[in-house]
Amino acid sequence: MSINFKQIEDKLKTEAKKLLEGGKVSIVLAYGKGYDEKHPMPYVARKMSDVENMVFNEFCTANMARYLVRYPRGTKIAIAVKPADSRAVIQLIQEEKIKREDLVILGIPVYGMKNFKTGETIDSKTTCGRYNPVIYDTLLGEEVHGQPVVSPYDVLAEYEKMDKDARWAFWKKELDRCIRCYACRKACPMCYCDPCFIDQNKPKWGEKSPESHGNLMYHLTRFHHLAGRCVDCGECSRACPVDIPLYLFHKKVAKECEEMFGQAAGMKIEDKPALVNFRVDDSDKILE
């Protein structure tokens, strides 16, 4: 079995038309033509005529949940979500940024997506490794079964094994490259603060110039802010012009949060984000 992208695209268009026509939603967040086939873009359909510009192929990696918070509260939105993206939607509902009843979720089961910059296949190494969306109203394609289930955290083993000095050397080298274009936070569906803490002058949390310590402060704090919230879509790393493997750190934090608090981000609408929650019987062992 393989993913029939064309079929998904057709179904996406049919659904989008239906939804827009019936006035059930005022916008459809999905994918549209880019400057060439390999470079599709996030696309917002507002009118019936927009639907023709929609596409879906293996390069449609963007997490459309990122755009949800851009529209006024109460806007009726249909959104196309891949597995990780659906978790972002759930997480945003948990955080009361959007309401479930304002959304029509068009689920897309996928594997074998490709990074449009490198052409590499995207798998559990850089994303959450799921094949089917966690939540949807309509599924644009067949549920994927029979694909190998790989833990999204397997990729961490190599880094966890490292000696702490080596790990520091690794992160220093990676983070030192950061040019502070903030594509990571802008591509992130969960980063919706405006202004971001690092943009502030009072307090000035970290240096604003792209040097080691400011970069470190920005990224570490961002990892913390996303603890228990990161849905492991991997968009931050794909957005990064200098290819910093931010996903590794996010995965590590997500893994630890899952182990400590027994809950993964964006899996259940009823959950409360782990870091603004507690259990009286949380063990002190988590501090050791």
Partner 1 sequence: MEFEPKILGIACNWCTYTGADLAGTTRLQYPQNLRVVRVMCSSRINPSFIFRAFQLGADGVLVGGCHPGDCHYNTGNLYARRRLAVTRKILEFAGIEPGRFRVEWISASEGNKFAEVVTEFTEQVKTLGPQTKFKIEQQPSLEKI
Partner 2 sequence: MSRIGVFVCHCGLNIAKTIRVSELAQFASTLPDVVVAKDYKFMCSTPGQEMIASDIKEHKLDRIIVAACSPLMHEQTFRKVIENAGLNKYLVTIVNIREQVSWVTHDVEEGTSKAKALLNGAVYRARLLAPLTSRFIDVSPDVMVIGGGIAGIQAALELANTGKKVYLVEKNSTIGGHMAQFDKTFPTLDCSACILTPKMDAVLQHKNITMMTYCEVTEVKGYVGNFDITVKQKARYVDHDKCNACLACTEKCPGKGVSEWDEGLVKRKAIYIPFPQAVPQKPVIDRDACTFFIKGKCRLCEKVCEQKAIDFEQQDTFSTVKVGAVIVATGYDLMNTKPLVQYGYGKYPGVYSALEVERLFNSAGPTSGKVTLRDGKEPQAIAILHCIGSRDKNNYEHCSRVCCMYSLKFAHLFKEKTSADVYQFYIDMRAPGKGYEEFYNRIIEEDVKFIRGKGARVAESADEPGRMIVEAEDTITGKFIKLPVDMVVLSPAMIPRSDSKDIARLFNLSTDKYGFFMERHPKLAPLSTMSEGIFIAGVCQSPKDIPDTVAQANGAAAEALTIVVKDKMELEATTAMVNPASCCACQNCIRVCPYGAPFFNEQKGVSEINEALCKGCGLCASVCPASAIIARHFTNDQVLAEIEGLMEF
Partner 3 sequence: MKKTNFQDISDLAAQLMGKGTLVAPVKEVAGFNFREISDAKQVDLNFYNTLMSPKSAFFPHTEDFVRYDKNKFVLDAQCVELNLKPVFLFGVRPCDAKSFEIMDIHFSGTGAVDPYWKKRREATTIFGYAFDPNTPADGADFYSTLNIGAADPEGSDIFMMKKGDELLLQAVTPKGETLLSSLSSLVDASKDDEKYFDDTIAAGHSFKTRFTCVDEKVIAKKLEDIFLKTEFWEKISDACLSCGACTFVCPTCYCFDICDETLFSKGVRRRVWDACMFTDFTLEASGHNPRTKVYQRLRQKICHKYSFHVRKYGVISCVGCGRCTRNCPVNIDIFSIVDQALKE
How far apart (Å, rounded) are the C-alpha atoms in residues 74 and 133?
Answer: 23
What are the CA-CA distances from residue 128 to residues 17, 202, 221 (Å)?
30, 36, 22
The reply on whether position 114 binds partner 3 by CB under 8 A is: no
SS3 of 232, please? coil
Q: What does 5 bind: partner 1, partner 2, partner 3, none (CB cut-off 5 to 8 Å by kind)?
A: none
The piece of 9-17, 87-95, 186-194, 261-269 that touches partner 3 (CB under 8 A) is 186-194
Binds partner 1 (CB under 8 A): choice among 144, 196, 220, 267: 220
Q: Which of residues 240-279 bind partner 1 (CB under 8 A)?
A: 249, 252-253, 256-257, 260-261, 274-279
| Beta carbon nearer to partner 3, 32 or 129 | 32
Q: Which of residues 207-266 bind partner 3 (CB under 8 A)?
A: 207-211, 214, 235, 238-243
Q: Give the other-Cβ count within 10 Å of 282's Cβ.
A: 13
Write the CB contacts of 215 (distance below 8 Å, at least 6 apart in sequence): 175, 176, 178, 180
CA dihedral 106, 133, 116, 47 (to 10 degrees): 10
Q: What does 171 bind: partner 3, partner 2, partner 1, none (CB cut-off 5 to 8 Å by kind)?
A: partner 1
Kindly give the residue spans of alpha helices, DSSP state H, lying in the chain. Answer: 5-21, 83-94, 157-161, 164-176, 183-187, 212-225, 235-239, 246-261
How far apart (Å, rounded) are the C-alpha atoms in residues 89 and 64?
Answer: 9
Chain contacts with partner 2 (rule: CB under 8 A): 73, 95-97, 192-197, 200, 202-205, 225, 272-273, 275-277
The reply on whether position 287 binds partner 1 by CB under 8 A is: yes
Smallest gap from Cβ 112 to partner 2, in A, equals: 34
How far apart (Å, rounded) are the C-alpha atoms in residues 21 and 140?
Answer: 18
| Beta carbon nearer to partner 3, 93 or 184 | 184
The piece of 5-13, 28-36, 250-258, 278-286 that touches partner 3 (CB under 8 A) is 28-36
| Beta carbon nearer to partner 1, 14 or 277 | 277
Among candidates 194, 190, 214, which has minimal Cα distance to 204?
A: 214
User: What amino acid is encoded at 162 in this protein?
Assistant: M
Among candidates 133, 74, 66, 64, which has minimal Cα distance to 98?
A: 74
The reply on whether position 165 binds partner 1 by CB under 8 A is: yes
Q: Which two tokens stand for residue 208?
A: 């604003």
Residue with tokens 């310590």: 213
How far apart (Å, rounded) are the C-alpha atoms in residues 91 and 66?
Answer: 11
Binds partner 1 (CB under 8 A): choice among 67, 217, 258, 263: 217
Q: What does 187 bind: partner 1, partner 2, partner 3, none (CB cut-off 5 to 8 Å by kind)?
A: partner 3
The reply on whether position 230 binds partner 1 by CB under 8 A is: no
Footprint on this chain of partner 3 (rule: CB under 8 A): 32, 34-36, 38-44, 62, 66-67, 70, 116-117, 177, 179-183, 185-187, 194-195, 199, 207-211, 214, 235, 238-243
Footprint on this chain of partner 1 (rule: CB under 8 A): 159-160, 164-172, 197, 205-206, 210-213, 216-217, 220-221, 223-224, 227-228, 249, 252-253, 256-257, 260-261, 274-280, 282, 284, 286-287
